[in-house]
Structure formats: C-alpha cells, structure tokens
C-alpha cells in the first residue's frame, strides 16, 4: 500500500519510519528539495497548489494524509475526489481559525479561555474590559510555536501589540493561570475504534515545546478523554489527533487541537506499546489500533537550533536519539531525544541531564 503525505518534514519522516515495518511505501509532496523525509520514499517537489503534482499524488497513493494543519481545505477536497484523505477536511477547516476552533469547542461544552474576535485596534480596546489583564493577542490564522502572539499587561500595551500582529484579524484571550500544560493524544480508525494515550505533561519556553513527559494515572485523564472523544465524534475524525490543554485547580481548559501527529507525543515512539505514528497509519488504513500502554516512565526533549554531540547524548544509556536530517538554523527543531526507564529516580536524573544538554545547545 502507498501512503501519500502532504509535507515531507520531520512528522512525515517519523510516519514513514513507523510505516516501513508494516510494508508501506510513501510518496511526499513538498516544495523543499532537501526535505527530511525525502529519502524514505518518492518526493514530488513543488507547490501544494500545483494541480498536476496533486493529481500525480492522488493517482500514486492509496490513501493520503498530511503533516501540517495549514493545508488549504480546497486541496483536500481536490485530492479527496479520487483518493481518500484523512484526517477529514472539516478538522482542518475548524482548526485553521482560532475563533472557529474555540467556538466549536465551546459549542461542544468544552471549556476554553474567555475570548473575543478583534479586527481593529478599536475592537481590541473595546474587548479588554471583558477579557481583563493579563491577556494574549493571537493572530486567528497561521500562528504556531508562539509566533503571531503578544502578551498584554495593560491598556498601554494595546497599540504596540496591534502593530506587532500587523493588523491581522486576531483573537484576544484571557491568560489562563495554569498549574500545568498537558495534552491528550488519541487515534480513531475509519471504523470508529478509538485509543487514548496517557496525558502528556508539557513544558514550553518562548511558546515552543521543550519537554514532554508521560503521566501515570493522572487525575485529569478521564476528563481529557471525555473532551477528545467528543471532538473525535463531532468531526467523524480518522487518524491521530492532539488536544492541548491547561490544567487549573484540577480542571482542564482547552487551548487548541492539532489534526495530526504531535510533538508532545514523540515519547510514544519508545515509550508506548504502539507509537502515535503507527496508530495514525493503522487508523487511516482501518486496521486494528495498537495498545497505547506506556512501557515505563517516558519523556521527550526537543533540540532547537543546535543538537548536542550524538556521543554525549548516547552515553546516557536509556536515551534514544532522533535526528531529523535538517540543516541547522536558529530556532529550528532539529532533533529530539526520548527517555524510557523503569524507575522514577532514574527518570528524573535523565531528564535533568537532557535538559541541561538541550539548554547548552539551544539558540532560540
């Protein structure tokens, strides 16, 4: 079977690495000639809107998926006319606009931060008495890893913040005083089978995920599963999905969902019976989903801008290194390492070592 993927970055690379043992072949469409998944399959080099390449992708693939959420929905509709594309376009459409997304979540009874749509400085000023300070101004579309976001502390910040987002349509939302940032990852197959991973506990710095750890019997697991189950059903979703959440006083508030495999689930590669990548592929092929059972304490550390020497990382014997084969560039995710171990003490020590190494090499 041939799986087509829009995008040939590290997520596509990890999908292909998970699919090879299942006998799958891959074809990628990505405009960058030196894409890091390219040597794991056939690479169509060109724009995502190139109709001839999209037609070729559809003809040569049995099923198509994507690794990023900014794919124009028209492209999914175009491909879907001949070849099934998962996750469904509805998930992309809703997730691409923060207002549509938050409204969708609230309509399903899922708590979000208070928010308001603003499209001018005047509207921002009018919204603030209701939202209150501190708050965050985010562009409605195309924001990721904290890009297109400004924290607002007082009325004095508004004019400068509005300039910083270049007058783009925005959402302004109340700052959630969270105790922890967590995410839940789940997979749903074409037949409707659903599996949930244990919650991941995530640490961000400057809006970028740095460290993700699995949790054991987290008190918020059931509530998070309930939320994501509601979303999966409402979207008639197929594939792996991630829902990013804030934990506040034993309640959860949803931030956003990503209709794809997610950085906070990379620890599942060595840390789970079945990784999020393998379950995504099984889900879109309508195969039985694999156990999401954790094989111990598991974590993932991202390396951004630079990667510590492989020898240094691999001298930690329960650490696994995943290099993405990408050219180093400031602020770019280049690799991650995962940890899996049986004892909490060992886990904490390994996280400390990895975090220290990551800090030394991080240039963001």
| Residues at the site binding ligand AMP, with contacts judged by CB under 6 A | 113, 136, 143, 146, 173, 175-176, 181, 204, 207, 244, 255-256
- Pick 8 or 176: Cβ nearer ligand AMP: 176
201 backbone dihedrals φ, ψ, rounded to 5°: -105, 125
CA distance 28 to 284: 16
- Pick 39 or 179: Cβ nearer ligand AMP: 179
CA distance 61 to 267: 29
- Pick 67 or 173: Cβ nearer ligand AMP: 173
- Pick 136 or 354: Cβ nearer ligand AMP: 136
- Pick 85 or 242: Cβ nearer ligand AMP: 242
Shortest Cβ 355–ligand AMP spacing (Å):
17
Shortest Cβ 176–ligand AMP spacing (Å):
4
Give one DSSP letter per residue of 292-360, joined into a string. --B-SEEEEEEEESS---HHHHHTSTTEEEEE------TT-EEEEEEEEES-HHHHHHHHHHHHHHHHH
Those residues with Cβ within 8 angstroms of residue 344's Cβ, 6 or more apart along the chain or in another chain: 297
Shortest Cβ 57–ligand AMP spacing (Å):
29
Shortest Cβ 184–ligand AMP spacing (Å):
14
Shortest Cβ 201–ligand AMP spacing (Å):
12
- Pick 35 or 302: Cβ nearer ligand AMP: 302
Shortest Cβ 133–ligand AMP spacing (Å):
12
Those residues with Cβ within 8 angstroms of residue 218's Cβ, 6 or more apart along the chain or in another chain: 182, 198, 199, 201
The label of the residue with tokens 């949790």 reads 215
Shortest Cβ 242–ligand AMP spacing (Å):
11
- Pick 75 or 176: Cβ nearer ligand AMP: 176
- Pick 19 or 143: Cβ nearer ligand AMP: 143
On whether the CB atoms of residues 40 and 56 are closer than 8 A, the answer is no
Burial of 169 (0-12, 13-18, 19+ CB in 10 A): middle
Q: Closest residue (Cβ) to ligand AMP?
A: 176
Shortest Cβ 172–ligand AMP spacing (Å):
10
266-295 in b/e burial notation, b at 16+ Cβ within 10 A?
Answer: bbbbbbbebbbbbbbbbbbbbbebeebebe
Shortest Cβ 94–ligand AMP spacing (Å):
15
On whether the CB atoms of residues 87 and 241 are closer than 8 A, the answer is yes
305-337 in b/e burial notation, b at 16+ Cβ within 10 A?
Answer: ebbbeeeebeebebbbebbbebeeeeeebbbbb
- Pick 2 or 253: Cβ nearer ligand AMP: 253
Which residue, 39, 33, 35, is CA-closest to 20? 39
The label of the residue with tokens 């101004």 reads 137
Copy the structure tokens of residue 87: 């996750």
Q: Using the 8-state DSSP alphabet, how is residue 284 labeled?
A: H
């Amino acid at each position: 079977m041939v799986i087509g993927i829009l995008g040939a970055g590290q997520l596509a690379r990890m999908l292909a690495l998970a699919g090879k043992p299942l006998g799958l072949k891959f074809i990628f469409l990505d405009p960058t000639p030196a894409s890091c998944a390219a040597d794991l399959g056939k690479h169509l080099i060109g724009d995502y809107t190139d109709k001839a390449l999209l037609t070729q992708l559809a003809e040569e693939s049995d099923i198509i998926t994507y690794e990023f959420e900014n794919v124009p929905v028209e492209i999914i509709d175009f491909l879907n006319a001949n070849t099934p594309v998962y996750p469904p376009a509805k998930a992309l459409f809703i997730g691409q606009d923060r207002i549509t997304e938050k409204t969708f979540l609230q309509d399903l009874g899922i708590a979000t931060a208070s928010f308001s749509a603003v499209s001018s400085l005047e509207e921002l000023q009018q919204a603030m008495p209701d939202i209150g300070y501190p708050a965050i101004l985010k562009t409605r579309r195309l924001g990721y890893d904290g890009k297109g976001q400004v924290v607002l502390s007082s009325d004095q910040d508004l004019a400068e913040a509005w300039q910083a987002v270049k007058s783009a349509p925005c959402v302004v939302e109340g700052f959630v005083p969270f105790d922890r940032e967590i995410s839940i990852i789940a997979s749903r197959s074409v037949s409707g089978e659903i599996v949930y991973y244990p919650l991941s506990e995530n640490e961000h710095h400057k809006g970028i995920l740095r460290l993700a750890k699995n949790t054991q019997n987290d008190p918020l697991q059931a509530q998070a599963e309930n939320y994501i189950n509601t979303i999966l059903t409402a979207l008639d979703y197929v594939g792996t999905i991630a829902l990013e959440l804030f934990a506040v006083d034993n309640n959860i508030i949803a931030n956003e969902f990503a209709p794809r495999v997610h950085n906070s689930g990379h620890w599942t590669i060595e840390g789970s019976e079945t990784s999020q990548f393998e379950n995504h592929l099984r889900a879109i092929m309508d195969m039985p989903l694999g156990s999401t059972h954790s094989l111990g304490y598991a974590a993932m550390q991202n390396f951004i801008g630079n990667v510590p020497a492989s020898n240094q990382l691999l001298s930690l014997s329960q650490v696994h290194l995943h290099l993405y084969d990408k050219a180093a560039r400031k602020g770019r995710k280049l690799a991650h390492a995962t940890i899996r171990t049986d004892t909490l003490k060992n886990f904490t020590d390994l996280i400390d070592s990895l975090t220290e190494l990551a800090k030394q090499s991080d240039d963001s």
